[in-house]
Amino acid sequence: MKISKLSFTVIGLLFGVLTFTSCKNKNEGYQVKTEVEISDNKPHPGKKIMETKCYLCHSPSADHDGSIAPPMVAIKSHYLNDDTTKKEFGDAIWNFLQKPSEEKSRMPGAVRRFGVMPYQVFSEEEIRLIADYMYEFKIEEPKWFKQHIEEKGRGRMQYRNDGKIEKNTIGLETKDYKEIGLKYALGTKKVLGKNLMGTIQKKGVVAALEFCNEKAYTLTDSMATVYNAQIKRVSDKPRNPLNRATAEELEYIEIFKNKITNDEGYEPITVETDKKTHFYYPITTNLMCLQCHGKPKKDVQSKTLNILANLYPDDKALGYDINQVRGIWSISFEK
């Protein structure tokens, strides 16, 4: 089933309901680097940022019909040719993301299918690290992509995923608890998003809102069973009362709020006991989230408000602006 531009916008709204899509802004107090030196024994930082910030929509594992945005390898193929320098590659991607528009896009087919990517808050440092990684390394790609380009490209563009193959140096065996927590959080977001997408395609938007109300908590619990962890999405202003933060979780929400308000960088917070690790990471709002979590009748349309009021009579998750802490991932797992 082909997804319309309107549906792509609504998908963004629903990801705000379901997964509190995460992005951050850190645009002052640092020097942008266009060249990155990476040790053979250490992963490229752009890879981690790309997986955290991009893969929910630009998934390398989604099938063609289930995609909600082009995979990252498609972006690489459209923006890279034989004489493109690393700086030119990074400049082009950053130029588009500063203010996405159809005129600035080099991917007319993706714009026709999905619409223009909604604006999100990214720092230039993050985007240039992602671009550096994409330029230097072979990145993950869907199994169908190369054949799709060869059949549909008609010579107008070439498949490009050249580069070094990075060693997978981070895994559960490293006991990097921040990485393990991120793996669990992002894995859960991926499953929630996939199931939400299927509901939209088969039953429509209203059913998808009902899905968020009825199934999101169950799926989160299922992923907790898969990972043998306790996984929660909690907030100081919950939409669903089951997502209300504890007193301890409220303290971490405040920590992340202060860091983001002051344009400070942040990383996941882990607290270790003898047997367990407790992981916390912010869930922040972007422009898409405001369609469901923004100011009523300004950002959130009346029809959406009526549906939300029926599903969540005690809803407190409204009135947000862009790049504010909507809640946190709160995950606990055995060491």
Between these two residues, 240 and 216, which has the higher pLDDT value? 240
Give per-residue pLDDT as tens, 304-332. 899 989 999 999 999 999 889 999 999 99
Q: Which of 189, 216, 168, 209 is nearest to 291 (CA)?
A: 209
Note the pLDDT tens digit of each residue in 15-61: 454 544 333 343 333 233 444 444 455 778 899 889 888 887 888 88
Q: Which residues contact 141 (CB under 8 A, 6 or more apart)?
A: 60, 71, 72, 73, 161
Rounded CA gap, 182 and 280, in Å? 9
Question: Which of 73-77, 102-106, 197-201, 288-292 bottoms out in mean pLDDT, i.e. has the lowest?
Answer: 197-201
C-alpha–C-alpha distance, residues 298 and 176, integer Å: 43
Under the phi-then-psi rule, with left for phi > 0, alpha for psi from -120 to 50, and beta for the rest, what region is 115? left
CA distance 236 to 249: 9
Closest CA to 13 of 294, 244, 282, 240: 294
Transcribe 120-131 into DSSP letters.
----HHHHHHHH
Q: What is the mean pLDDT of the chain?
A: 81
Rounded Cα distance between 260 and 174, Å, is 29
Q: Report the DSSP beta bridge partners of residue 279.
A: 270, 331
Q: Is the pLDDT of residue 4 over 50?
A: no
Domain boundary assignment for the chain:
5-152, 172-334
Distances (CA, A) of 37 to 1, 43, 169, 205, 311: 43, 11, 16, 46, 50
Residue 231 is predicted with a pLDDT of: 96
Is the four-CA dihedral 82, 87, 90, 95 of positive or negative sign? negative
pTM reported for the whole predicted model: 0.62
Query: Maximum CA pair distance of the chain?
Result: 59
For 51-88, letters b (16+ CB in 10 Å) and e give bbbbbbbbbbebeeeebbbbbbbbbbbbbbeeeeebee
Mean pLDDT of 156-185: 75
